[in-house]
Amino acid sequence: MITVPPMKIPTLHWTRPRKLTLALAAVTMAGCAQWKATPPSPHESRGLPAASVAADATVMDIIFWPLPDALPASDIDAGADPLEILWRDTDELAVDAKTRTALQANGLRAGRIDHIEQLLDRIGIPQPDDPAQKLLQQAAVSSDIASSQHRLPFRDGQQEEFAIRQTSKESQSVVIRKGKDSIGRTLQQPQFLLTLQARPSDDGRVRIRTWPRIEHGPFRQSYVSTDQVIRTNMQREQWVLRELLIDTPLDQNQSLLIAPLKDPFGLGKQILTAARPDGTTERVAILIRVARKPQPAL
């Protein structure tokens, strides 16, 4: 077993947690490494030890990063749009041309970043000074879009899902553009999810596959029979958006960035932006980072 050390990255805050499985909750509660800007205090270090994971597992960092509106005044590019700074250091050619075209047609961009830690430290995490805005955030009413961080081990081919937004209380129309065609559906109380899969490649890198999925409609009961045991299963209908599947290899410490366009529209606007109470627009970028590749057997 190998202990994975924490990354020294500004702490992100989970505003609206959603544990999709008991297994995911168990991993989180067991003491997975947290992203902190400074080492833990002596008091904190007396807590649970860092989580240990199997040597043949890939350790992934997944964060939903709320972007500030502009870089701080102390930055050399003060006032610049953080998204523009991110794309300067992003290799979009790491995503194949067909996928890039499909993403852009739906208001999304994606690419690979080699050292996201420096950009996280430079751009920072928005910290509102307005007490009323802080209260809104604490009450989780300022936005239903995710702002969370996860560090999880992935076995070969293992899939995990992460909530991009809370379940909508109302029906929503969702339109997906596929080439010259548009597919539109009105969905009852949809929830947008991100599916992630990691698999070691022959060249020593880790192949990342990720795609959005939408759960909608009422829960329906079904029965699954396994080993002479009948198990009750409650599920909603799902719309898997395979048209937007991203399949790309990453080396250790490399990240996949997924973000809305500068002028958001379509699905990108629907899942990664939200209106704040003051009328401005909140934007969230998704970062998927290989924190540790599988370790070769000795």
3-class state of residue 89 by DSSP = coil
- Give me the amino acid identity at 47: G
User: For 106, what's the count of Cα atoms within 13 Å in the CB-facing half-sphere?
Assistant: 29
pLDDT of residue 60: 95
3-class state of residue 153 by DSSP = strand
Q: Which residues of the chain carry a pLDDT beneath 50?
A: 8-46, 127-130, 132-142
105: tokens are: 């047609």
> H-type helices in the chain, by residue range?
22-29, 42-45, 82-88, 97-105, 116-123, 131-138, 266-272
d(Cα 163, Cα 134) in Å, to the nearest integer?
23
107: tokens are: 């208001």
pLDDT of residue 22: 36
pLDDT of residue 28: 39
User: What's this model's pTM, rounded to 2 decimal places?
Assistant: 0.77
Token match 């997944």: residue? 62
Specify which residues 275 forms β-bridges with.
281
Of the chain, the end-to-end C-alpha distance in Å amounts to 12
d(Cα 284, Cα 269) in Å, to the nearest integer?
10
Which DSSP helix (H) or strand (E) runs through 112? strand 108-113
pLDDT of residue 280: 86
